[in-house]
Amino acid sequence: MSLTDRIARGLESGWNVTDGAHLTEHLTTEADVVVIGTGAGGGTTAEILARSGLSVILVEEGRLYYQKDFKMDEQTSYANLYQEGMSRVTRDGAIAILQGRCVGGSTTVNWTSSFRTPAPTLNYWADQFGLEELRPDAMAPWFDGREERHSMSPWQADPNVNNDILRQGCEKLGYSWQIIPRNVKGCWNLGYCGVGCPTNAKQGALMTTIPGALDNNARLFHSLRADRLVMKQDQIDHLEASAFADDGVTPTGIKVNLKARHFVVAASAIGSPGLLLRSEIPDPNQRVGKRSFIHPVNATVAQMPQRVDPYYGAPQSIYSDEFNFRNGVDGPVGYKLEVPPLHPGMSSGVIPGHGENQINNMAGLPHMQSTIALLRDGFHPDSPGGTVSLRDDGSPVLDYPVTDYLWTGIREAFHTMAEIQFAAGADKVRLMHLDSDWYTNWTDAKAAINQLPMAPHRVRLFTAHQMGGCAMGSNPQNSVVNGFGEHHQVSNLSVHDASIFPTSIGANPQLSVYALAARNSARLAQRLS
C-alpha cells in the first residue's frame, strides 16, 4: 500500500511539464520526436524513445490529473477525465462512447482488464492483412514485456459479488469462465478505477510510462490540443496546437508550434483519424477513418436476493470467452462476457428511465448485478464497422451503423446474459432496452427477448473500446500504416495506438496497444538514433 505519489514527486523534482492553460504567449519549440497523445500508445512510445536518448515532446489535449484530484467522485471525474464530459456518442447518438481525455488517456479511467490480443485475432490479421510478423509467437515477448512493465497478473483476491455472479451463472450452465489479469500494484480493492485510481495502485500510463518518459527528460504539454500537422514537401514539418484554459474546454487563443524530425500520432481511434483528416495527410486510397471499430456492448441488469454492492471491489475480475470465438473467428458475431461496476450516477445514466420507475430501479442498486457482452466486430463481410469523419467544425465524429449481423449477435447476447443471471439466482432481470420490463423467470425473459425490437436507441448500446480508422496492413491500397505503424506515404509519421488495428480484437484493448506501441517504438528508436 504505497501512498507515495509519483506525479507530485516528479513535479517537485523539476519534470519538464507545461500546463497549456498557463501559457501567456505563443510558443515554438522542437524535439527529435513529437508524440501526440499520452494514453497506452503515446506513453509507451515516449518512454521508449526518451530512454534511448532521443528528445521527446508529449502533447495531451486533456489535463494532468493525479492522486490529489482522484476523490472517488463520479460527477467531477466524468466531467474532467472523459471525452466530451462523458457525453460522447456516435453520430446518430445511438451508442455511448466512454473514452478518457486526460494525461494517461483511457488508461487513467479504465477498469484495469489486461488481455493479450487473442491468438485467433492475430492469425486473422496475418491471413487477411499480410501482417505475418504479428503472429502470436512473434508477439509473445512483447506481451511478456508489457505485462511486467504494467504489473499485470490474474486478480488474486476473491472477485466481488458482482463478478462472482457471472462466475456462478457460467458454472451452473457449463460455460467456461476465467479470472481477469489486472494492471495493479498494491490495489486496495475499492472499486473506483473508472474515476481515477485514488491509491495510485493502477499501473496505467500515468503511473508507469509517463513518469518514465519525464524522468528521461521528455517534455509534457497538457491542456494543449493538436490541431494540424503541417507538411513541407513530402514530410511533416511541424504540429500546430492550441491551448485550453484550466477548465479544460475553453480555448485561450494561445498557439504552440512544435517542430520535430518524426511525429507519432497516438490520439485514439477517433482522435488520430481526426487529426490526419484535418491535416490533409496524403491518403491516396481514402483509407483514413474507414473501418473504424468498436466493441458494441449491450447489457442486462439483475436484482439478486443477496447484497451485491456493485460499486465496491475490483470492477472486473471474471470473464467468459465461451461465446467469443465459438463460431470460428469469422462466423456469426462472437462476444466476450464481463461485468461493469455500478455507481449511482453511471447506473442512472445507462439504465433508461424516469420518474417512479427510475427511482425503483435505482433503489435496487445494492442488490443489482449487471452483465455486459462485448461484440467482436470486423471479422465478417457483413461487419464493416464505422467511419470517422470531421464535423463542420473540424472535430471528429464516429458514424457507426449497426448491421443486421450485429443485431443478431446483440439479441443472442441478451439471451445468454439473462440466462446466466437467472442461473445464478436472480429474482428478476431486465434488458438495457427502452421496452424491457423486469422479467421474473427465464421463460418470460426468453420470450420477451425474441419479441423486442432490435433497433437503434431502443437497445441501449455502449462502448469503451475504439479501434481502427488508421488500419495497418502490408497493402497500401487498403491500409494507412504498415505492420510497424509507419505511414505508407509520409516517412516521418507513425501511428501508435488502437487506430492501427485492422479489426476489433475481442478483448479489452489496453495490453494490445501497449505491446504494439512497445514493439514499434523499439524499431523507431533504432531508426532515429
Partner 1 sequence: MNHPLPDSSGQPQFTDLNRRSFLKTGLSGALFLGTVSVTAGLSGCATEPAGRLSAVGTRMDASYQFRFLNEDDIALFEALLPAMIGPGLPEQSQARNMAIAGTIERIDAGIHKFGPANQKELRQLFDLLNFGLTRVTVARVWSSWPNVTTAEADAFLERWRTSRIGLFNNGYIALTKISNVAFYGYRDFWHLSGYPGPPQYAVDALPQFQNA
Applying CB under 8 A, what is the total number of residues that bind partner 1? 75
- CB nearer partner 1, residue 80 or residue 183: 80
Please pick, from the candidates 344, 382, 447, 450, the single residue that binds partner 1 as defined by CB under 8 A: 344
Cα–Cα dist 249/432, whole Å: 31
Check residue 80 for interaction with partner 1 (CB under 8 A). yes
Name the one range near partner 1 by CB under 8 A: 51-59, 115-123, 137-145, 343-351.
343-351
- CB nearer partner 1, residue 215 or residue 240: 240
Task: Kindly identify the residues of this chain, within the stretch 163-222, that bind partner 1 according to CB under 8 A.
Answer: 188, 190, 192, 198-199
Are the C-beta atoms of 111 and 190 separated by less than 8 Å?
A: no
- CB nearer partner 1, residue 67 or residue 163: 67
Check residue 406 for interaction with partner 1 (CB under 8 A). no
Name the one range near partner 1 by CB under 8 A: 16-24, 138-146, 324-332, 386-394.
386-394
- Nearest-approach distance from CB 17 to partner 1, in angstroms: 19
Q: Put residue 53 in one of left, alpha, beta given phi > 0 → left and psi -120 to 50 → alpha.
A: left
- CB nearer partner 1, residue 144 or residue 247: 247
Name the one range near partner 1 by CB under 8 A: 121-129, 229-237, 272-280, 503-511.
272-280
b/e 331-368 (16+ beta carbons within 10 angstroms → b): eebbbbbbbbbbbeebbbebbbeeeeeeeebeebbebb
Check residue 346 for interaction with partner 1 (CB under 8 A). yes
Check residue 401 for interaction with partner 1 (CB under 8 A). no
- Who contacts 9 (Cβ-Cβ below 8 Å, separation ≥6)? none
- CB nearer partner 1, residue 201 or residue 264: 201
Helix/strand/coil for 455: coil
Please pick, from the candidates 119, 138, 179, 390, the single residue that binds partner 1 as defined by CB under 8 A: 390
Task: Kindly identify the residues of this chain, within the stretch 55-74, that bind partner 1 according to CB under 8 A.
Answer: 67-74
Backbone angles phi, psi at 135, to 5 degrees: -55, 155
Q: Which of 332, 324, 270 is nearest to 465 (CA)?
A: 270
Name the one range near partner 1 by CB under 8 A: 137-145, 285-293, 391-399, 514-522.
391-399
Task: Kindly identify the residues of this chain, within the stretch 301-340, that bind partner 1 according to CB under 8 A.
Answer: 311-312
- Nearest-approach distance from CB 420 to partner 1, in angstroms: 24
Residue type (1 letter), 310: P
Helix/strand/coil for 172: helix
- CB nearer partner 1, residue 134 or residue 276: 276
Check residue 85 for interaction with partner 1 (CB under 8 A). yes
Please pick, from the candidates 14, 305, 355, 381, the single residue that binds partner 1 as defined by CB under 8 A: 355
Residue 26's alpha-carbon distances to 22, 59, 221, 517, 518, in angstroms, are 11, 15, 13, 31, 33
Are the C-beta atoms of 459 and 298 separated by less than 8 Å?
A: yes
Residue ranges in 320-453 assigned as alpha helix (H) = 344-350, 355-363, 404-423, 442-451
- Nearest-approach distance from CB 267 to partner 1, in angstroms: 13
Cell of 204: 496505467
Please pick, from the candidates 391, 443, 491, 529, the single residue that binds partner 1 as defined by CB under 8 A: 391
- CB nearer partner 1, residue 28 or residue 357: 357
3-state secondary structure 36-89: ECCCHHHHHHHHHHHHCCCCEEEECCCECCCHHHCCCCHHHHHHHHEHHHHCCE
Task: Kindly identify the residues of this chain, within the stretch 432-451, that bind partner 1 according to CB under 8 A.
Answer: 434-435
- CB nearer partner 1, residue 83 or residue 216: 83
Check residue 250 for interaction with partner 1 (CB under 8 A). yes
Q: What is the CA radius of gyration of the chain?
A: 22
- Which residue do the cell numbers 491500397 mark? 477
Cα–Cα dist 58/63, whole Å: 12
Check residue 379 for interaction with partner 1 (CB under 8 A). no
- CB nearer partner 1, residue 331 or residue 349: 349
